[in-house]
């Protein structure tokens, strides 16, 4: 078994693979990330063949680890890096109990966090990647971790999953090619390329921020924006949390605190430049 150990914010991973290549790609992508505290990983993610012969014959990758879901569809070995990333995500989504997990991206400036919840395709990753290269600190691309006691957002700066047109956009803005993972074509999510957050995001991965604004983006529409009521915000946050139910009343209280204290809005945007401008406008109006 090939393995990689790394820490991302409060979560330490032990990633195992039956093949060398996905771990080698992961090692390059996560260059500069710290090791688990005292060498102890809190989460194990594994990728391996769904059947023994699939290790060599038309190799296929299945994702597993401490927690597993039935009926996950195996992928081709050439998408092994994506499988490893998905295995890491799955362990966090199913196993995390110390923080409320929001399916969202987040960026920080001046100690205040802007949280961008959204489904795949909403553009949250691209917006966060762009903001993270233009005066904001990237805190998260996929999961925002809300401390159940303090209500602060803890950074979880995993590699950013760029998809389709976002790949060329970020390639044109970032001069350092070593921050990018390999091009992955024809994945279940389309064309995909991972981007390592910049050095500041990694160096400050232990600095939390106070949630100050929650914006729900929708990519691919004419520019528009609208407020989100407290009750709708509560409902949408619970819908976008993978562990709200498992946390019981602690999850309820953390979600309610966000809904009652953090202003929220939704906005639609046709392209990244407009999306970034709308986010900046919201932030200016909120005094961020």
Partner 1 sequence: MTARVYRTDFPSHCRTHPIDGLLLVFHRPSGTTHFLDEPVPAMLAELARAPLDAAALCVRLCERIGIAHDEEALAVVEARLAELVASGLVVAS
Which residues of the chain form contacts with partner 1 (CB under 8 A)? 229-231, 234-235, 238, 245, 248-249, 252-253, 256, 259-260
| Closer by beta carbon to partner 1, 30 or else 244 | 244
Q: How many CA atoms lie within 13 A of 233 on its CB side?
A: 24
Distance, CA of 31 to CA of 38 (rounded, Å): 19
> Who's near 224: CB < 8 A, 6+ residues apart?
267, 268
**Residue 22 CB neighbour total at 10 angstroms:** 26
- What crossing angle do the helices spanning 230-239 and 249-261 adopt, rounded to 10°? 140
Query: Minimum CB separation from partner 1 for residue 230, in Å?
Result: 5
DSSP assignment letter at 141: S
Nearer to partner 1, 35 or 229 (CB): 229
CB of 82 or CB of 228, closer to partner 1? 228
Strands 99-109 and 143-147: antiparallel
Q: Which is nearer to partner 1, 107 or 233 (CB)?
A: 233
Task: Report in angstroms how near the CB of residue 261 gets to partner 1 at its nearest.
Answer: 12
Minimum distance between the CB of residue 98 and partner 1, rounded to whole angstroms?
Answer: 18
Residue 10 or 211: the one with the smaller Cβ distance to partner 1 is 211
Minimum distance from CB of 140 to partner 1 (Å)?
24
CB nearer to partner 1: give 256 or 286. Answer: 256
Q: How far is the CB of 156 from partner 1 (least distance, A)?
A: 25
Q: How far is the CB of 46 from partner 1 (least distance, A)?
A: 30
Tally Cβ neighbours within 10 Å of residue 87.
28
Q: CA nearest 278: which of 198, 213, 197?
A: 213
Provide DSSP, 211-239. EEEEEEEEETS-SEEEE--HHHHHHHHHH
CA 204 to chain centre: 16
């Amino acid at each position: 078994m090939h393995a990689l150990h790394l820490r991302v914010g409060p979560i330490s991973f032990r990633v195992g693979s039956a093949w060398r290549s996905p771990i080698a790609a992961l090692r390059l992508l996560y260059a500069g990330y710290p090791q688990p505290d005292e060498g102890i990983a809190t989460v194990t993610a594994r990728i391996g063949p769904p059947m023994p012969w699939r290790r060599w014959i038309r190799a296929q990758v299945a994702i597993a680890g401490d927690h597993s879901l039935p009926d996950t569809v195996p992928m081709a070995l050439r998408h092994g890096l994506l499988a490893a990333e998905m295995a890491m995500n799955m362990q966090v989504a199913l196993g995390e109990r110390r923080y409320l997990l929001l399916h969202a991206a987040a960026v920080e400036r001046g100690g205040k966090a802007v949280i961008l919840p959204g489904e795949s395709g909403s553009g949250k990753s691209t917006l966060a990647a762009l903001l993270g290269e233009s005066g904001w600190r990237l805190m998260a691309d996929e999961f925002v971790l809300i401390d159940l006691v303090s209500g602060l957002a803890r950074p979880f700066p995993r590699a950013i999953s760029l998809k389709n047109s976002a790949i060329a956009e970020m390639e044109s803005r970032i001069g350092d090619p070593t921050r990018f993972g390999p091009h992955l074509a024809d994945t279940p999510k389309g064309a995909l390329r991972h981007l390592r957050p910049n050095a500041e995001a990694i160096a400050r991965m232990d600095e939390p921020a106070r949630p100050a604004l929650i914006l729900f983006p929708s990519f691919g529409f004419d520019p528009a924006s609208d407020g989100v009521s407290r009750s709708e915000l509560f409902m949408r946050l619970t819908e976008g949390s993978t562990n709200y139910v498992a946390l019981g009343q602690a999850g309820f209280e953390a979600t309610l605190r966000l809904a009652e204290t953090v202003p929220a809005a939704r906005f639609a945007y046709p392209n990244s430049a407009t999306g970034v401008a709308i986010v900046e406008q919201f932030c200016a109006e909120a005094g961020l």
